[in-house]
Structure 1
Amino acid sequence: MATVFFAALTLGMIGSFHCIGMCGPLAFSLPLKNNSDFAKFTGSLLYNGGRILTYSGLGMLFGLAGKSFSLFGFQQWLSVIVGITILFFLVAPKKWLTAKSTDTLFAKYNYKIRFALGQLFFKKNYASLFAIGVLNGLLPCGLIYMAIAGAIAYASPFESAFFMASFGLGTLPVMWSVSFFGNYIGIEVRKKIRSAYPVLMAMMACLLILRGMGLGIPYVSPSANHNDHPVEMCYPAKVGTTAVIK
């Protein structure tokens, strides 16, 4: 579990600088109570807690999906396919990936989430800040998709949820600072950080592909052979005796 935690935490910490460019405007304009530092601190924490809760829920959901693939022996193929898909989205021309129609299911989903967020911004209370965080976790985001891809590869509802929660904790220091202190990182710095984001995605994709290949590399590409353990079998001819089959 420690490996899962540090892998996800690192992804969240590095990727959180990308979040400044994507979710920064929303974090800057949160309806925080400015009458005291404690109220502002609590509001920022609740907003980020809502995000992490959503990430955990997504991790559990996709962990269940990964477990289904694992039961049918497709987990490693899934890991390879997800890695290749991430690489494809990195190199594909933007015009292939941009939906121009506002009638698509994706566009309607995005509109509904943003509309609900807009309604919550009129309410200055802790419940609305938590709800904003929950909905913010559902907004389309390449970094979250990458984290979900990593969560699927674990093929376990608990481990996948733990992975996504750890990822959310990794984003917490930067995202909490943005909402509490405001716009403290310059535009040029943000641009440089965002330029490194595709490199991070490519590294994640390669790790997923390696994991699926089962090369026997500890932690990176565990062996796909699960039949190394001896199995005890009972022969009908000699009741009460067992033989170990390797």
Structure 2
Amino acid sequence: MLGYNLGRITSYMTAGALVALLGSVLNHALDGIALALRILAAVMLILMALYIANWWRGLLHVEALGRSLWRRIEPLGRRLLPVVKVPQAFALGSIWGWMPCGLIYSMLAWSLAVAEPLRAAAMMGAFGLGTLPVVLATGVAARRVSLWIRHPATRTMAALLIMAFAVWQLWHLSSMTGMDDMAGGMTPSPH
């Protein structure tokens, strides 16, 4: 289980770094895109929270975006079964980390907005570690922990925390742009 999860989290970190690299290229190529990427990331976090709380399942449609890539990668994972060695588990986890998942896509949107590969990799690593209790509980059939994590109240609390963070980000972005607008309005005119 440890090898599998280490591989899975490593693939999340790799994806985060690659997406952040794309974000940095976009930020340098297009003026003003950084704000749009941050707004997209906050909206994706809200969608993720709605998904976690089972209030809206729209992220399932977003998962369809990764299915064509997954169809090509998934057969490689089947070749690694049954798992008998740790390196084999790591390789399988590395492949399964690319499985289409709306929650991962939400975090990758945040990585795109961060536009710093190392920071995004660390963020995706933290996300992967945050998913570890659920994956381990499922993997070792820890029914009690699994039931607690899946309990509607637990899911609602997690969703509300994620939404609060996303709303705080949007508020922070709006106050930053508001200050820029105010500063622009306070600049003396040349006339």
The TM-score with structure 2 as length reference comes to 0.68
Whichever residue aligns with residue 27 of structure 2, its letter is S
User: How far is the alpha carbon of 1:139 from its aligned partner?
Assistant: 1.1
Unaligned runs of 5+ in 1: 1-43, 226-246
Q: Determine the structure 1 residue equivalent to 2:81.
A: 121
Q: Determine the structure 2 residue equivalent to 1:46.
A: 3
1:149 aligns with 2:96: no
1:183 aligns with 2:144: no
| Preserved contact between residue 47 and residue 131 of structure 1 (Cα < 8 Å) | yes
Match of 1:78 among 37, 40, 54: 37
Distance change >3 Å, CA 48–CA 188, structure 1 → 2: closer
Could you list the per-position Cα deviations for residues 71-106 of structure 1 after superposition, in whole angstroms to 9, with x for gaps in the alignment? 23321221113323554674996589549xxxx764
Q: Aligned equivalents of 1:175 and 1:96: distance in 2? A: 20
| Preserved contact between residue 82 and residue 208 of structure 1 (Cα < 8 Å) | no
Distance change >3 Å, CA 105–CA 210, structure 1 → 2: closer
Distance change >3 Å, CA 191–CA 170, structure 1 → 2: closer
User: How far is the alpha carbon of 1:194 from its aligned partner?
Assistant: 3.7
| Preserved contact between residue 40 and residue 109 of structure 2 (Cα < 8 Å) | no
Larger Rg belongs to: 1
Q: Determine the structure 1 residue equivalent to 2:164.
A: 203
Q: Aligned equivalents of 1:105 and 1:160: distance in 2? A: 21
Unaligned runs of 5+ in 2: 182-191
User: How far is the alpha carbon of 1:116 from its aligned partner?
Assistant: 3.0
User: How far is the alpha carbon of 1:168 from its aligned partner?
Assistant: 2.3
Q: Aligned equivalents of 1:112 and 1:127: distance in 2? A: 21
| Preserved contact between residue 81 and residue 209 of structure 1 (Cα < 8 Å) | no
1:58 aligns with 2:15: yes
Distance change >3 Å, CA 126–CA 85, structure 1 → 2: closer
Residue identity over aligned pairs, in percent, reads 27
Count of paired positions: 171
SS of the residue aligned with 2:41? helix
Which structure: greater helix fraction?
2
The TM-score with structure 1 as length reference comes to 0.55
CA RMSD of aligned residues (A): 3.6
Distance change >3 Å, CA 196–CA 110, structure 1 → 2: farther
